[in-house]
Chains A and B, each alone.
Chain A
Amino acid sequence: MTQTITIDPVTRIEGHSKITIQLGEDGSVADARFHVTQYRGFEKFIEGRPFYELPGIMGRICGICTISHELAAAQACEAIMSVRVEGTAADLRRIVNYASLLQSHALSFFYLSSPDFLLGMESDVAKRSIFGLLETHPEIVRDGVRLRSFGQKIIERMAGRRIHPTWIVAGGVSEPLDAGVRETILAELPEIKALVRRSLDWFKRAMADYHEEARVFANFPTLFMTLVDEREDVLELYRGRLRVVDSTRREILADFHRTEYQDYIGEAVEPDSYLKSPYYKPMGYPDGIYRVGPLARLNVIGKMGTPEADQELAEYRGLNHLSSFYFHYARLIECLHAVERIEDLLDKPSILNPRVRAHASANVSEGIGVTEAPRGTLIHHYEVDEQGVVTGGNLVVATTHNNLAMNRGVLQVARRYIDGENLSEGMLNRVEAVIRTFDPCLSCSTHASAQIPLRVQLLDPAGAVIEEALRG
């Protein structure tokens, strides 16, 4: 008799999603799917708005990735204006982008995933959260809170507020950097770097206990994609060329300008999810499966471009680069890189230059902006009429790029851990944990704790409930 297990909702991510696991006649896992069951609709309701409003509107997509959406939107607007933002304005945007990465990675690593590493995948679900860590590992919670707060405060200090600031505008930024803010941030950097270094140290030790998870957490060959610097083979999160490498990470399959993205990226739609399923077009669907985000970035680039992060990258190179479990490690390496880059950028004499904005009207009818959000490559594509009013839009958000890989990862973990005869919460947590490695951002944020109600049902082929488990 076949059965279906449904995990609904998936916890410690936010947004409405569920996982269904189909069991075969013998109780083994035959199939598993990750379904995103909510709908936002920003591509549609920007139609009719003046293009220069888009950074402000699109930032509202998310309370965590606000800066990423604003940057991608602003770049697309600047393409419409035929303006390229360089110099101080670009550097200020980069600093805020690194700050955004720090606060987002801190949320994913410390708040959402560290309870699994520190308390165990099968530990008491009532305590498996950041609040449970207050009792056992308060020093790590303090580090998580501090790192997230540091990133948010940079955004607040430079852009006016930590969520949905309106400082990033089409043509640059609205205000130059205050000298006092620069000094304040520089003074805090040594403490933050030390925090990231000790987080790397304990996580590298903890990884030794997770060999099996590393073996089966979305560990399979895929392509990898990210932005790279326009001139050098180094990590570039703000603006650059798009690059796709093969699963060995040694062969570059494509290296292209953002305006060519539709030649390389197809967008399939599945009937059971509002999340699109992008694929690498030359290989077709679904063979063109690829991954984006911290793991992909480290797999594609030659160097991080900062000394301490490059040392860590050398260590990372010794691991199995196909396992999504190492997304977590890659996130911490990126945090180290971000701290180093913020320091470099703030040390530039030109960073206090007051000329930070260009003005222009719509000069062309189409604009594409691409940036690396904390979770991966983010594409905003707009079309406007002669007055600059938006007539169409397309978004390819980081989480969508990873949809095929997340689905395959859920299946891989379910096949390893799910036993149709003896369901346990720990088995289900691992199925959710593979999703958390990708840190999906389904709507505005990703932080439902383990206390949220979870219902698991075993159904017979006719849909009747055979067994039901509730938690929360």
Chain B
Amino acid sequence: MAETLIIGYGNPIRGDDRLGEVVIDHLTQRALAADLWCFHQLTPDLALRLVGYNRVVLVDARDGSPAGQIYTQQVQPTRTMPPLLHHLTPGLLLAVTQELYQHYPAVMLTGLLTTHFDLGAPLSARVEAALPDLLAHITRLVEG
């Protein structure tokens, strides 16, 4: 088990929302000191997956502009309830992990801004172009 867990998440058939899956696919080709997982969405049972890792990096496309810009934020635990049980926010996932398992990993959320989430669409050109920079950024987060 590595010290760091990287989770890419998103809907693989909704345009740039497949960014998380694409990033994990690329990272599997690199000798990164991290365990890699890919999910459609964050669910309560993922809290168990976080147990044992000191650091967790979540990768997701975020609705915003300019398209292709990297964003990164430290995730803080939050008790704000989601409208759907199968769609936790990163903050709530961390809160569930802390409260159920008394485990307190450092969680970073990173990815690219975009507005392209059309059903069946491929990655947009701007996100595709920004992918190498994002991969380098994640590598620095893990190795730094």
Residues of A within 8 A of B (CB): 12, 14, 63, 111-112, 126, 129-131, 134, 138, 141-142, 144-146, 148-149, 152, 163, 445, 447-449, 451-453, 472
Is B84's CB under 8 angstroms from A452's CB?
yes
Most buried by A among B45, B47, B84: B45
B144 beta carbon closer than 8 Å to chain A:
no
Binds A, one of B61-69, B92-100, B103-111, B119-127: B92-100
Q: If A112-B85, A448-B83, A451-B83 touch, does A149 touch B100 (CB 8 Å cutoff)? A: no
Give chain B interface residues in 10-68, CB to chain A under 8 Å. 40, 44-45, 47-49
**Closest A residue to B38 using CB positions:** A161
For B83, give its contact among A152, A163, A445, A472 (CB under 8 Å).
Answer: A472
B1 beta carbon closer than 8 Å to chain A:
no
Residues of A within 8 A of B83 (CB): 448-449, 451-453, 472
For A130, give its contact among B49, B85, B95 (CB under 8 Å).
Answer: B85
Residues of A within 8 A of B85 (CB): 12, 111-112, 129-130, 447-449
Is B86's CB under 8 angstroms from A445's CB?
yes
- How distant is B36 from chain A, measured CB to nearest CB, in Å? 13
A408 to B47, CA, bound (A): 39
Residues of B within 8 A of A (CB): 40, 44-45, 47-49, 79, 81-86, 92, 95-96, 99-101
For B96, give its contact among A12, A134, A163 (CB under 8 Å).
Answer: A134
A134 to B45, CA, bound (A): 13
**Closest A residue to B95 using CB positions:** A134
**Closest A residue to B13 using CB positions:** A60
Q: If A445-B86, A451-B83, A452-B84 touch, does A138 touch B99 (CB 8 Å cutoff)? A: yes
Is B84's CB under 8 angstroms from A63's CB?
no
Is B92's CB under 8 angstroms from A447's CB?
no
Residues of B within 8 A of A131 (CB): 79, 81, 92, 96
- How distant is B52 from chain A, measured CB to nearest CB, in Å? 14
A138 to B96, CA, bound (A): 10
A448 to B86, CA, bound (A): 8
Residues of A within 8 A of B92 (CB): 131
**Closest B residue to A135 using CB positions:** B99
Residues of B within 8 A of A130 (CB): 44, 85
Q: If A445-B86, A449-B85 touch, does A145 touch B47 (CB 8 Å cutoff)? A: yes
Residues of B within 8 A of A449 (CB): 81-85
Is B48's CB under 8 angstroms from A149's CB?
yes
**Closest B residue to A145 using CB positions:** B45
- How distant is B93 from chain A, measured CB to nearest CB, in Å? 11
**Closest A residue to B12 using CB positions:** A164
Is B86's CB under 8 angstroms from A145's CB?
no
Excluding A447-B86, A449-B84, A451-B81, 19 further A-B contacts by CB distance (< 8 Å) are A12-B85, A63-B86, A111-B44, A112-B85, A126-B81, A130-B44, A130-B85, A131-B81, A131-B96, A134-B99, A141-B44, A142-B101, A145-B44, A145-B45, A146-B48, A445-B86, A448-B83, A448-B85, A452-B84
- How distant is B23 from chain A, measured CB to nearest CB, in Å? 17
19 pairs, CB–CB < 8 Å, chain A vs chain B: A63-B40, A111-B44, A130-B44, A134-B96, A134-B100, A141-B44, A141-B100, A142-B101, A144-B44, A145-B44, A145-B45, A145-B47, A145-B100, A146-B48, A445-B86, A449-B81, A449-B83, A451-B83, A452-B83
Residues of B within 8 A of A129 (CB): 81, 85
- How distant is B88 from chain A, measured CB to nearest CB, in Å? 9
- How distant is A290 from chain B, measured CB to nearest CB, in Å? 30
Residues of B within 8 A of A12 (CB): 85
- How distant is A191 from chain B, measured CB to nearest CB, in Å? 13
A448 to B95, CA, bound (A): 19
Is B81's CB under 8 angstroms from A145's CB?
no
Most buried by A among B40, B47, B81: B81
For A138, give its contact among B49, B82, B84, B100 (CB under 8 Å).
Answer: B100
For B45, give its contact among A138, A149, A452, A453 (CB under 8 Å).
Answer: A149
Residues of A within 8 A of B82 (CB): 449, 451
Residues of A within 8 A of B40 (CB): 63, 163
**Closest A residue to B100 using CB positions:** A142
**Closest A residue to B99 using CB positions:** A134
- How distant is B46 from chain A, measured CB to nearest CB, in Å? 9
- How distant is B133 from chain A, measured CB to nearest CB, in Å? 28
Most buried by A among B40, B95, B100, B101: B100
- How distant is A367 from chain B, measured CB to nearest CB, in Å? 28
User: 8 nearest interchain CB pairs?
Assistant: A447-B85, A149-B45, A451-B81, A447-B86, A452-B83, A449-B85, A148-B45, A149-B48
- How distant is A397 from chain B, measured CB to nearest CB, in Å? 19
A152 to B48, CA, bound (A): 12
A126 to B81, CA, bound (A): 9
- How distant is A446 from chain B, measured CB to nearest CB, in Å? 9
Residues of B within 8 A of A163 (CB): 40
Residues of B within 8 A of A453 (CB): 83
For A14, give its contact among B48, B81, B84 (CB under 8 Å).
Answer: B84
Q: If A134-B99, A163-B40 touch, does A145 touch B84 (CB 8 Å cutoff)? A: no
Most buried by B among A112, A131, A451, A453: A131
**Closest A residue to B86 using CB positions:** A447
- How distant is B81 from chain A, measured CB to nearest CB, in Å? 5
**Closest B residue to A141 using CB positions:** B100
Residues of A within 8 A of B47 (CB): 145
A130 to B81, CA, bound (A): 10
A146 to B69, CA, bound (A): 37
**Closest A residue to B48 using CB positions:** A149
